[in-house]
A and B are shown apart, each in its own frame.
Chain A
Amino acid sequence: MASVLAKLREAGETVLKIAEKKGLEEAEAYLVSNKVLTIRLVNNAVFESKGVHDIGVGLRVIKGNMLGFSSTADLSKKSLQKLVDAATSASKARKLPFKYSFPKPGKIPKVTGVYSKKLAELQPEKAVERAYEMVEASMSYSKKVKDNAGVLNIVSYETLVLNTHGVKAKNVGTFFEASLNATAKYRGKVSEGSEATAGRSIKELKPKEIGEKAAEMAVSGLKTQKLKEGIYTMLLDYEPTQEITSYAAMLVSPMIARLYYPLFLNKIGKKVASSQVTLIDDPLMHNGVGSAPIDDEGTPSKKRVIINRGVLKGFVYDSFYAAMEKKKTTGNAVRVSFAVGVSAFPGKNYNGEPIPLPRNPYIKPGKWKREEILEDTKRGLLVRRFHYTRLTNPTRGDFTSILRMGLYIVKNGEVTGAVRKSRLLDNLLKILQNVDAVSDKLVVAGSWGDYAHTPMIRTKAHVTPID
């Protein structure tokens, strides 16, 4: 690891020197080494193993309050010279209508439980075995399980931020994402189940548990009844609640709000959820899947309450959007490449400008035990999985998800049976405002590259059966 960081540091220092020589007033180099190993499982077998080691640098420069960005994966001196030229060229005609400067150095806190040497050094042979254990566990759970598909991603990253104000900060971490989708078949009936989780170390990776949970959900859905359209009390299990949290978290980015999803614009100080909902962003959390000592422009991390008992307290900021809105950065710069045709691997990316986003968001656990929420529900639906969730009207908040699997009727405090595939069709604000119970434990859940800590919640929503 030391040699990679040394290589990044050397390239970063070279870039800053070239920028200084060129007469640029400010420069910031964001250097990344991001290693991903993916084991893909299909049809009960290992289908492919693939790896990437992405090393590169993203450079921002300022001259005359004009901002430019460019990136390259080639760290040779010749290429770094070209990089400075490209960033300078990108800055021309981008005169900012507000005063902007890169972040100054700050005291960097310690964050624990985000790096595992064993995970970083896990050999492909072992990774293949761990991934395959998910399939074995699912198949052993029941003869009715006939097919499995899944993914194990193992990621290790090192990043370094250097800027001309003296920021020199590194961020090192590891994580895995593991998921399995099981299909059960019995007497002409077909049913799916899935489990997906993430963690920071090898000891958190429990393939057997993942396989069994996916299989259990699949088998439990073999006998189903059809649902009547209506408004239901919804017990949203960990994964669906994580998707709701993920949307709520996006809405508090001033960039996302201005460009794509304005649902929370002009709602600061207003009630956007029930008083049961407190949304926190805590990148300092021990072992947090989104934890890090710094954000992606080197600003020290801090914990922040975004929604307090239903009231939207404020948006999250990186230094750019903070300057635009005459506020202070909240340490929420995130470099995500969402561009089409451009690499965007799990872990760290250097090929985009930072944008403001919550980094380790979660709904604060409540007082209810998971079983108590269930026992307290007279009639409702337990939803264990969302699929293809969309905010179909980002201004009004129209919200939909396919309840593809893991959907059950709850009667008098008990799960009484599974329900056929249905569709949730409601409004995100209403769903947040109808939350009347939050469970007391955080679990890591998610899907398709988006994982977070989450409790389960109870709310109400309109559900319609689908063919």
Chain B
Amino acid sequence: MELVMEEDLALYAVKLASELGAEYVDARLEDHYNEIIVVADGKVQQGVINRKRGIGVRTLVNGAWGFQSTTDLTKRGVRQTVEIAFKIAKASSRHVPKPVELAPAKAYKASYKTEARIDLEDVAFEDKLKHLVTWEKKLYTSKRIVRGLAEYTGLKINKMFVNNEGANIKFSNSLVWLSLKADSKKGAVAQSYEKTVGHSGGYELFKKNNMEKMAVEIGHKAEALLKAKAAKTEKDATVILDNDYAALLVHEIVGHPSEADRVLGREAAWAGTTWWAGKIGEKIGSEQFTAYDDPTIPGTLGYYLYDDEGVKARRKVLVKKGVLKGHMHSRETAAVFGVKPNAGMRAITFEYIPLIRMSNTFFGEGDWKKDELIEETKHGYLVSCMRHPSIDDKRYNWTISAQEAYEIKNGELTTHLRDVALTSTAPKFFKSIDAATKKVEIIPLPGCGKGDPMQSLYVGNGGPYIRGVATVLGVR
């Protein structure tokens, strides 16, 4: 791997920044390959192959952060980059009343990779284009399907992390995901249905999943929704959320508010803050409400073993049996909270400074079976598949639409419903959770945005089927 040959450049950056006087320095040397294909209306709308390699240097000078990146991987280029990173950190330090402190972290030396049985670059781009065109075509299951959309992304990232504490970590990652969507229309009723598959791994994703079959199912679903009944508003209804809907809910009202930088008000400029700031140890939900963030699950979009600060990853318990237990941390926020760092820092490329991000955030399991959950519900709704979120800045009040739902009457699924959204507040919903199934599923969720400049990242989210109470919003 060519990156290894440039290892000395990363070490040079660290040495140089230390010599200049930085208290702390880390360097991330990375090589990115990505390919994007978008097919709609039977045509390839985008077919992109990108390559980028470079280094990002983060320095702590007089208690203030500075960061600079470059694609100029010469000794001169790296030297200039380090000098700027040092200079701007120094400039920042004039207005840092409380110098940054980092919680101690062991300096690991490690090398690991994602298992990709079929390397992305071993499949001709031409073949991938053909696959996408075929799958998109399969979405048109009848005249009622007016538009199809297939979006594919493949990423290969080789990265190396070093710091002035002696850490040296190499990670070879590969990620693939694909979304298929069908839009249907009959008279004034317009519907759509979509699904995303994805993993950390190689092109074998499309061997594991029969994409042609999935495309046909999506087409049928979009058609079936045309015949579904529009949902009506019902206050405080019993709702059973499937893994896919639960994935977006946990992302928005558990994952984001668990980011310690957000808890500390550091994301207030755009994203917002967190209603549960200062509530660690308090009961915020029912006994059945547990949630984790865990990057160590192989095959997920949020997989990694060391974060972009070199901290070893582990499962983070965010909420246990209704009690708020902890947040996702950087070394810096861990120091503020007086806890051990838990490997929450990631950046999309070497060009960005890392931020606290979700990896795989999910609701914990219960002891119910899915069928039992439905059978034991006298009146309610089975709400399936995420659509659009709209969440307030404190992650308190939430509204999330679903792709479809079924009304439950006396323990049986009855009327098929379209145009469904649920709304509630986070604590009200958390307190209402009374059951969850055993089986947890992690759903790929590419496209989580945070930061300025914005970093759009891939994560995993999910959970079991969970039952709670929320207001069903019908069409206005």
Q: Contact residues of A with B, CB < 8 Å?
A: 36-56, 67-74, 79, 82-83, 86-87, 89-94, 96-97, 124-125, 127-129, 132, 135, 147, 149-151, 153, 179-181, 183, 192, 194, 255, 258-260, 262, 324, 338-346, 351-353, 387-388, 390, 392-393, 395-396, 398, 400-402, 404, 421, 423, 425-427, 447-449, 462, 466-467
Min Cβ gap A458→B in Å is 21
Complex CA gap A401/B46 in Å reads 31
Complex CA gap A132/B458 in Å reads 33
Give chain B interface residues in 449-466, CB to chain A under 8 Å.
452-454, 456-458
Min Cβ gap A184→B in Å is 12
Residues of A within 8 A of B268 (CB): 42, 147, 149, 181, 183, 192
Is B415 on the interface with A (CB-CB < 8 A)? no
Question: Which residue in chain B gives the minimum CB-CB distance to A255?
Answer: B45
B43 and A339 form a contact (CB under 8 A): no
Give chain B interface residues in 319-349, CB to chain A under 8 Å.
348-349
Complex CA gap A71/B33 in Å reads 10
Interchain Cβ contacts under 8 Å between A and B, 29 examples: A43-B264, A47-B65, A50-B66, A51-B85, A54-B71, A55-B71, A68-B47, A69-B48, A89-B49, A89-B126, A92-B126, A94-B129, A149-B267, A151-B452, A153-B452, A179-B270, A258-B147, A259-B45, A262-B147, A339-B153, A341-B456, A351-B50, A387-B392, A392-B401, A402-B392, A404-B393, A449-B452, A449-B454, A467-B397
Is B38 on the interface with A (CB-CB < 8 A)? yes
**Which of these binds chain A: B95-103, B111-119, B370-378, B434-442?**
B95-103
Min Cβ gap A362→B in Å is 23
Complex CA gap A67/B93 in Å reads 50
Residues of A within 8 A of B183 (CB): 262, 395
Residues of A within 8 A of B125 (CB): 86, 89-90, 92-93
Min Cβ gap B451→A in Å is 9
B392-417 interface bits toward A, Cβ cutoff 8 Å, 1 = contact, 0 = none = 11001101010000000000000000
B2-36 interface bits toward A, Cβ cutoff 8 Å, 1 = contact, 0 = none = 00000000000000000000000000000010101
Question: Which residue in chain B gives the minimum CB-CB distance to A342?
Answer: B34
A341 and B348 form a contact (CB under 8 A): yes
Is B228 on the interface with A (CB-CB < 8 A)? no
Number of interface residues of B (CB under 8 A): 92
Is B51 on the interface with A (CB-CB < 8 A)? yes
A36 and B453 form a contact (CB under 8 A): yes
Complex CA gap A259/B183 in Å reads 10
Is B211 on the interface with A (CB-CB < 8 A)? no
Complex CA gap A341/B458 in Å reads 7
Residues of A within 8 A of B393 (CB): 192, 387-388, 402, 404
Min Cβ gap B303→A in Å is 14
Partner among A50, A83, A86, A181 whose Cβ is within 8 Å of the Cβ of B68: A50
Complex CA gap A91/B65 in Å reads 44
Is B391 on the interface with A (CB-CB < 8 A)? yes
A343 and B52 form a contact (CB under 8 A): yes
Given contacts A54-B351, A151-B269, A346-B453, contact A46 B64 (CB under 8 A): yes
Given contacts A340-B153, A402-B390, contact A56 B348 (CB under 8 A): no
Partner among A258, A340, A346 whose Cβ is within 8 Å of the Cβ of B457: A340
Min Cβ gap A435→B in Å is 19
Residues of B within 8 A of A96 (CB): 43
A69 and B47 form a contact (CB under 8 A): yes
Residues of B within 8 A of A147 (CB): 265, 268
Is B40 on the interface with A (CB-CB < 8 A)? yes
Given contacts A43-B264, A181-B268, A400-B390, contact A71 B454 (CB under 8 A): no
Min Cβ gap B382→A in Å is 21
Complex CA gap A87/B125 in Å reads 10
A73 and B53 form a contact (CB under 8 A): yes
Residue of B51, B65, B421 with most chain A CB atoms under a 10 A cut-off: B51
Min Cβ gap A123→B in Å is 8
Min Cβ gap B330→A in Å is 12
Min Cβ gap B427→A in Å is 9
Residue of A40, A55, A73, A194 with most chain B CB atoms under a 10 A cut-off: A73
How many A-B contacts at CB < 8 Å in the complex?
285
- With A50-B68, A52-B351, A54-B71 given, can you name 13 additional A-B contacts, CB distance below 8 Å? A45-B95, A51-B85, A71-B51, A82-B51, A90-B125, A96-B43, A124-B88, A149-B268, A339-B36, A341-B457, A400-B390, A401-B390, A449-B454
Residue of A48, A87, A125 with most chain B CB atoms under a 10 A cut-off: A48
Given contacts A71-B48, A90-B48, contact A53 B70 (CB under 8 A): yes
Partner among A94, A341, A344 whose Cβ is within 8 Å of the Cβ of B44: A94
Min Cβ gap A257→B in Å is 10
Complex CA gap A48/B266 in Å reads 11
Residue of A54, A150, A340 with most chain B CB atoms under a 10 A cut-off: A340
Complex CA gap A425/B233 in Å reads 14
Is B384 on the interface with A (CB-CB < 8 A)? no
Residues of B within 8 A of A153 (CB): 452-453
Is B232 on the interface with A (CB-CB < 8 A)? no
Question: Which residue in chain A gives the minimum CB-CB distance to B391?
Answer: A388
Residues of B within 8 A of A74 (CB): 51, 53, 71
Residue of B133, B425, B454, B476 with most chain A CB atoms under a 10 A cut-off: B476
Given contacts A52-B68, A339-B48, A396-B190, contact A46 B94 (CB under 8 A): yes
Partner among B133, B353, B391, B401 whose Cβ is within 8 Å of the Cβ of A48: B353
Partner among A50, A71, A73, A132 whose Cβ is within 8 Å of the Cβ of B67: A50
Residues of B within 8 A of A47 (CB): 65, 92, 96, 266
B66 and A351 form a contact (CB under 8 A): no
